[in-house]
Each structure stands twice: as C-alpha cells, then as structure tokens.
Structure 1
Amino acid sequence: MVFKLAVLTIALAAFAGAANYKRVTCPDGVNTATHEACCAFFSLRDDLQTNLFEGECGEDVHESLRLTFHDGVSFSKSGAFKGDGADGSILLFGNIETNFSENLGTDDGVDALAPFLTRHLVTAGDLIQFAAATGLANCPGAPRLQFLVGRPNATIPAEDGAIPGPADTVDTILSRFADAGFTSNEVIHLLASHSVARSDTIVPDHQAVPFDSTPFNFDTQFFLEVLLKGTAVPFNRTTPNTVGGEVDSPLASEGEMRLQSDFALARDPRTACEWQSMVDNQFLMMENFRTAMMKLSVVGQDTRKLVDCSELIPEPKPAVKLHATFPAGTSRFEVQQTCRAPFPVLRTDPGKATTIPECPDGDVNLADCPS
C-alpha cells in the first residue's frame, strides 16, 4: 500500500508540474508557444500553406524538400569544400549556388521561398527547413519532421562540387555523404524523398516527371520499383540522358524515369539490404527518413544553440497504402535482387500495365494541368 501511495504521489506531482508549465504568449495575442523563438513561425506556416503549397503535396513541396539537401550536404568535415551546412546559403547566395552543375533546377525553389524571407523575421536556414517540414506534412504517409530554430544566416556561399549527382558512382556518392557526416544507411534513408520527387532538368521537354513511383504519396512503392528490371526510357525517347544520370525504367511507357544513382545504390552490396528492408515497411521508412532528416536539418550547426519548435509542424496525412505492390504487368521475376535476405511477398496490381496520368505539356501533376 505504501508503495502504491508513493507511486501515486509521484504521478500527481508530475501531472501538476506539467499543468503549471507556462507557455509564452506570442506578440499576435492569439498563439502560444513553448518558446518565444517559435512565435514568428505561426504566421509563416499559414503563409506557406496558403500562398505556396495550397495544402497539397505538389511541385512546391518537392522543391522545398530538395533545398534542404542542396543546402545541407554542401558541408564538409574534412574541409574539402567551403560551406556551413544547413545555413540557408543557397537562398542567400542563390545567384551563385543555383548555377552549380548539380544545383540546376533549384532556382525554382529559391525563387519561391525568397518572398517569404522578406515577409517574415526568420533566417534563411530556418526558412528552408521549416518550409520543407511544413510542406511534407501535406504528403500522405510522410513522417512528422522535427524543426529546430536558431540557425544563423550564412555569411559565405557553399562551394561547387560538394553536391553528389545522379551520374556519380556509388563510391563517389557514399564518400561525399560521409564527408558531410552521413553513413551509407542514412544515404538510403534520405532517398525516401524520391517517393515524392520529380525532375525538371533530366528529361528534355517534359517538366515534373516522377522518378520511380506515382508521385505525391510518401510510400514504399519507390523502393520496390527501383529494383525492377528496366525496359526503356520514357516518352518514346531512344536513349537515356546519360549526362543527367538516367537509366532504363521498368515503367517507361507510363512516363516513369529512373536515376542511375538510385539504380546503383539499390543493387550495391553495401546498401542493397538497407534498401530492400524498406520495400514493404512503411513505418520503418518513415522513421528512417525522420531521423536522417533530423540530422540533415542541423548539419554544421551547434544544436545547443537551437530551440525545438517542432510543435508547429502539422500532423501529416495518413498513408494512402501501407504495402507496396507490383505494378500491373510486372511481377517478382522482374526484381533484380542483390541482398540475400528473403524478398517480401507482395501482391500485383490487377488490370493493364500501370499508367501515370500526364498533362498535354508533360506535367504529371494533374492539378497543374492547363484548363
């Protein structure tokens, strides 16, 4: 009895402490936060959702998410490249960094976010990370990302050559990421972002083409389809864009493209099993991506000086599908498996070969189709 009373007393004390925890009233007189540094992001969140993302998981979400990579991975532990990591340099020095060969196409994301930097009292590094975390919450199946505040503005631009490209070898990619502070497993975890990715530059004359799965759903389908045997390149072209790192796609007739780097990482002995582990494990993919993005969002930063404002990130939409399926017209026989672990048993979609809807101008985002 004494033991039970002691436990009850401790529990009540903890509850009372939580109840008496004071939140900060923000200057707008409406919102409260755990820290005053979070207050500026309430209006920024509303502005982004209303005037950029429109509550959807579309092209602007992809562009914002892409900026987190191109801003943060420029960091170098060895000093081989100049740059301070996730500091917003790609936004502040956009006229320089967007011209780097592996940053081509990021100018759209920079141009989209620039007005928000002038309208809100936040730093460029915080804006990039907050926009990506907020926008990703619009994507069904995405994890809720952590968001920390307090990155100082960049004072120097990053250096060209620090961002690995889709035409690079696995050795080059893993080496560059290692210099930025990431393990080979974390590289694979970060590539879950390709489930909601599109290309503006690799496929000529076709804007916003999905990499490896039907876009705008953050799901494991991407990890399955990259492992399928390629047949051709999309849009009736005769050869891949090898300069841009494209290889044959398993669903070329449906407009799906595949990056050479994704293809190679999915089959390399160092990364194949980590890749395969997420083929049909939505929750593992979500958690892996969340923790890897947590690291990417603060690379090069002193986290002791940052404030946790994750409470402002919306709860993501639930996953549309929890299990990957072989696209109609494909099967287990098309899987190019390197990992020796048993491959998941998956259903095959019924019907004719999978078709990815496409606008007349080549844009697969039907919401953007001209009327």
Structure 2
Amino acid sequence: MAFKLLASFVSLLAALQVANGAATKKVTCASGQVTSNAACCALFPVIDDIQANMFDGGECNEDVHESLRLTFHDAIGISRKANKAGVFGGGGADGSIAIFADIETNFHANNGVDEIIDTQAPIIARHNLTTADFIQFAGAIGVSNCPGAPRLDVFLGRKDATQPAPDLTVPEPFDDVTKILARFDDAGKFSSDEVVALLVSHTIAAADHVDPTIPGTPFDSTPELFDTQFFIETQLQGTLFPGNGSNQGEVMSPLRGEIRLQSDFLLARDSRTACEWQSFVNNQYKLQSAFKAAFRKMTILGSKEHNLIDCSDVVPTPPAPASKAHLPAGLTRQDVQQACNKKAFPTLPTDPGPVTSVAPVPPS
C-alpha cells in the first residue's frame, strides 16, 4: 500500500513538473531574443525603434512622460454606465485618441497630447501593431527607462477604435475629489486606493499647458526619477489659486519651478485618499507594486484579458532606484500639511543642499 502511495506521489510530481515546464517554455525569436510567446517576437524591433527615435537611446525624457500620459488619456475614455445604457461611452484603451486625433485632441482635457501623437505616428506606421496596442506598449517601455520604476505588464491583441471616445471622460486638474473618484469608478470600478496608485505616474510628469507661461514645469523636484518625492512635495504647504483664470487647476508650491495640480493637492488632503497618499511617502516598493497593478488594470480597459497575449517579458528591467525619500532643502516637518489622521507623517531627512529652484523638463 505504501509503495502504491509513493508511486502515485511520484507520478503526480512528474506531471506537475511537465506542466510547469510547459508553462515556462520560451521561444527564441529570429533576432535571438527570448520570450514566452512567438507573437511577442514582433515587439523587439519596436522597442529598438522607440528607444532610438523617441526616448534618446533609453532616457527618462519628456517623450516618456508624454507617452505615459497618452496611455491614460486613451484608456480612461470609457463609461460603463453609458455603454450599459446602450449609448456609446467609449472603448477604453482602443487607440481612439490617435485614430480620431482631429476630434479628441480638441477635448479640453486632452490639451497638448497632439504633440506625442504626432511623434508616435511614423513609428506606428513602420510596424504591424494596432494603434491601441502601440500606445500602451510605448508607455510601458518608456517607463522602463526611469530609475526606480516597476517593470510594467504589456499585452497584444486590442482592437482599434472605429469611433472616437466621448468628451468629458478624462478628469480635469480642477475637478473635485468626488467627481474624480466617480469618473474612475465609472471607467473601470477603480477604488480610491487605485486612483491614488495611478497618480504615481505624476512622479515623472510635467505640465506644459496648465499654465502655458511656464512650459515643462515638473510636478516634483525629481521628474527624471520614478520615486516617492511627488507624494512628499504635494503635502507641503500650498495655496489654491482663486477664481477661474489662467491659473485654474494650479496650486502654488513652496518650491520655485514646481507646479502642483489642484486635483493632486485635494486628493492628498481628502479623508478618502489622504492616508493612502501618505503611505507612498517613503515606501518605494509599494509605489512600484501599486502602480504596476493599477497600470495593468487601466491598460486593458475595454478588452478582456483572456483575449489578449501577455508579452510582459519583453519589457526591459528598469534601472534601480536612484534616490531616497527626503524633504527638500530648507524645509522641515513643520512645512508638511498632514491630512491622514490615522498615522503620523514619516520622519524624513532634509536635503542638505542649498535651496534651489526646480529646473524645467527640457523638450525632446
């Protein structure tokens, strides 16, 4: 009896090993690169093209920032309520923002995305990818150039849009927190924690059009690094600009040369999001893992994941983190407007360097 049980166990173990081997089987592409699915081989030449011709050979540059922004502005163009009611509410990550650029770039919330759409267009034309797949893929590859970033998931198989997304599906920087959370819930049942996680993208972001008098103004002091400074610096003392003038959506920052969006300022201080916001302050691992999960969810809005091909293993491994959480020079804990009432703001060192202004992000 014992022998039969042992034999059964050995047979089961062998079967599991065979199954595991099948699951991890790799394909060697004609280029010599290895991936888990032959369909993903087509992506390696695309990586070479976009790294050379958009990202300056692998830099975390302005086109990286703009490519990541475009992934969101395309994907968030979907309304579950409208689609359920039989009124077209957008197809999510379907490439509509580029395919129908003459329409969607005129939406107020999409101001400025025409530049990265124009930059990506000739590269899309050189490769056999849908526009929907390319937009999300380019964003993920761009992020892989940024020190401290997670290795994002990528998929193939999205269908291109046949009509433009409706207006008013992209949140605006002057929206209040309730409106922002409702928009994300309608787009894809994003929780308040997932909304905060998606805004990790602002760690490498800059604004050209919120205040056109100061183009290339970053959202934190380290826009070339995928780090936690954004979540620290949005909690520093600040004042909302009054009225609806040219500064609408902008918040005064104590750091010269830095811009803060009103929406980020409010989310950092709202009881529904403040503690999650603070949780990223000195937690690089959580920053990476939360954004990776939220990006994965966002990037397939409008598609079923089981209908897509997972090509995540073609994404380069990002450089290691290159900074540690700190308060900017000249500032102390007293300069923090803490809103989380459940946990104290972490103790952080202050940058010993002289007080300087934050340099604008140079155009690509």
Q: TM-score, normalised by structure 1?
A: 0.88
What is the aligned partner in structure 2 of residue 307 from structure 1?
309
Q: Does 1:353 align with 2:355?
A: yes
C-alpha distance after superposition, 1:31-68 (max 9, x if no partner): 44322321221111111111111200000001110011
The one-letter code matched in structure 2 to 1:319 is P
Alignment of 1:178-193 (within 5 A): 178-181=185-188, 182-193=190-201
User: Which of the residues 134, 147, 153 maps onto 1:146?
Assistant: 153
Offset at residue 212 of structure 1 (A): 2.6
Distance 1:87 1:342, change over 3 A: same
Helix, strand or coil at the partner of 2:81? coil
3-state SS of the aligned residue for 2:54?
helix
- For 1:96, the equivalent position in structure 2 comes to 103
Amino acid corresponding to residue 301 of structure 1 in structure 2: S
The more displaced of 346-355 and 54-63 is 346-355
Equivalent-residue separation in structure 2 for 1:81 and 1:16 (angstroms): 46
Aligned mates of 1:339, 1:315 — CA distance in 2: 34
Query: Which residue does 1:229 correspond to in 2?
Result: 237
| Deviation for aligned residue 1:218 | 0.6
- The answer for the alignment partner of 1:282 in structure 2 is 284
Tell me: CA distance 1:162–1:239, structure 2 relative to 1, closer, same or farther (3 Å): closer
Deviation at 1:348, TM superposition (A): 0.6
Within 2, Cα distance between the matches of 1:98 and 1:112? 14
The C-alpha deviation readout for 1:144-175, integer Å capped at 9, x for no partner, is 10111100111111011111100111111111
Distance 1:113 1:282, change over 3 A: same
Once the two structures are TM-superposed, the CA of residue 214 in structure 1 deviates from its matched residue by 2.1
Q: Deviations over 1:296-347 (max 9, x none)?
A: 00011111210110011000111012x3111011110011111111110111
Deviates more, 1:50-59 or 1:196-205: 196-205
Q: How does 1:73-152 map to 2 (within 5 A)?
A: 73-79=76-82, 82-152=89-159
Q: Tell me, in whole angstroms, the C-alpha distance in 2 between the residues paired with 1:81 and 1:166.
A: 25
Q: How far apart are the structure 1 equivalents of 2:258 and 2:6?
A: 61
The 1:178–1:348 alpha-carbon spacing in structure 2 relative to 1, beyond 3 Å, is: same
Moved more, 79-88 or 154-163: 79-88
User: Does the Cα contact within 8 Å between 1:327 and 1:354 map onto a contact in 2?
Assistant: no
- CA RMSD, 1 decimal: 2.6
Write the distance in 1 (CA, Å) between the matches of 2:90 and 2:211.
Answer: 30
Q: Secondary structure at the match of 1:216?
A: coil
1:29–1:281 distance in 2 versus 1, CA, 3 Å? closer
Amino acid at match of 1:317: P
**Using a 3 Å threshold, how does the CA distance of structure 1 residues 271 and 246 change in structure 2: closer, same or farther?**
same
Q: TM-score, normalised by structure 2?
A: 0.90
Give the SS at the match of 2:150. Answer: coil
Residue 40 of structure 2 corresponds to which residue in structure 1? 38
Quick check: 1:167–1:242 contact (8 Å CA) kept in 2?
no
For residues 184-263 of structure 1, the aligned pairs below 5 Å read 184-230=192-238, 244-251=248-255, 253=256, 255-263=257-265
1:155 aligns with 2:157: no
Counterpart AA for 2:169: A
Q: Residue in 2 aligned with 1:360?
A: none
Could you tell me which runs of 5 or more consecutive residues in structure 2 were left unpaired when the two chains were aligned: none
Check the 8 A contact 2:206/2:361 in 1, yes or no.
no
Correspondence for 2:67: 64
CA drift at 1:8: 8.2
Q: Which residue of 2 aligns with 1:364?
A: 361
> Which letter maps to 1:158?
A
- How far has the Cα of 1:11 moved from its partner? 6.3
Whether the 8 Å contact between 2:79 and 2:186 is mirrored in structure 1 is yes
Correspondence for 2:326: 325
* Deviations 1:12-40, CA, capped at 9 Å, x for gaps: 765566556654454x4644432232122
1:216-269 CA-to-partner distances (Å, cap 9, x unmatched) read 101001100000002799xxxx99965540011120x2x111111110000001
* Residues 276/22 of structure 1: CA separation in 2 closer, same or farther (3 Å cut): closer
Alpha-carbon separation, structure 2, partners of 1:306 and 1:206: 41
Shift of residue 6, structure 1, vs aligned partner: 8.8
Q: Secondary structure at the match of 2:89?
A: coil
Q: Kindly tell me: are residues 32 and 320 of structure 1, through their superposed partners in 2, closer, same or farther at Cα, counting changes over 3 Å?
A: closer
Partner amino acid, structure 2, of 1:302: K
CA contact (8 A) 2:211 2:246 kept: no
For 1:285-300, what aligned pairs fall within 5 Å after superposition? 285-300=287-302
Identity %: 49
For 1:176, give the aligned amino acid: R
Residues 61-81 of structure 1, C-alpha deviation per residue, up to 9 Å, x if partnerless? 011100111011111110176
1:71-106 deviations in Å (ceiling 9; x for gaps): 111111101762100111111111111110000011
**What secondary structure is seen at the aligned counterpart in 1 of 2:268?**
helix
| DSSP-derived class of the 1:39 partner | helix
